[in-house]
Structure 1
């Protein structure tokens, strides 16, 4: 497993089981190996009857790979409340799971924890839109408007048509009392025929603030 050779790991586990020497954590190790192979249904089946914390981490990663965010969050919450060691659940190494860990902190209004969880990975967050948005939101909630503005502003230079980034920048500028600047960011988005209610509301608030309303 440590050598990133899940097939060899499964072969060793099978040989040990046939010799009556299966390790106590056989199910978890087998689940990890199948997870590495992308066999997510098999992964879920292997840990199905184990309700301790570590299998919930494995389930959460499997749901992440299957693009099922609601199930990821549910698995993560159950893992944190399950018996057994929680170190790997509470501080996952998988960057996708870090977002859900930070999201749980945000739901609990612990914005400092959400920021601290994501901050070490801030250079790679732009490839993770939801995590990036949560990081900016955490910075805004903690009164760090200047830092919050920098991220979407630099991102927008590379992707001027990115709607989410424009909305993030508008929100950050509005939070720092830059109503004029906030008007510029979401305006193109709000004018599109399929603009979201969120984009229109942000533009309306920026217009009201800019006009002194």
Structure 2
């Protein structure tokens, strides 16, 4: 694949979606390649339907492994329909969440096991990994307070207790320690503009040749 694959990750309340949207807006004016902005679970109709199923607060009986399988199913279809074609076409794909989320949320948060979830997603992705992952780090307490301010009716995952979200963050920290070359940590407790600026400079330093004024 000739394209570039960048993902944004972080616990609930880290602000990664807002940061990512701002970064995409900045990059559209500065890079020489087409940008595909997308999200998980979702990004295409089938995956968006699965997203509604996963996050619906009514589905309180959903088994942890069923949840992991649904995320994986949405991811596979998203890859086949949108991400892989864009990468093959040489585009810059910027994705809100990817496999790391499943490892942190289902593997660590749900206690299924990060290795087990990794094996499932290896089958789904056929080994595809992002070229760069920007991990917006925030403690669970602060993140949930922030999420409560922006969420109009929390989804099923946001509604989990503090211990769940603490485990999720620990899962992300484990991934950061294992894959520090791919995953770059950004302190999400900084002011929004500072987080955006830091993320922008990381991308520019990692992929300087895609910028017009390189």
Q: More helix per residue: 1 or 2? A: 1
Give TM-score, length-normalised by structure 2: 0.28
Indicate the structure whose relative CO is greater, using CA pairs within 8 Å and at least 6 residues apart: 2
Larger Rg: 1
Normalized per residue, the structure richer in strand is 2
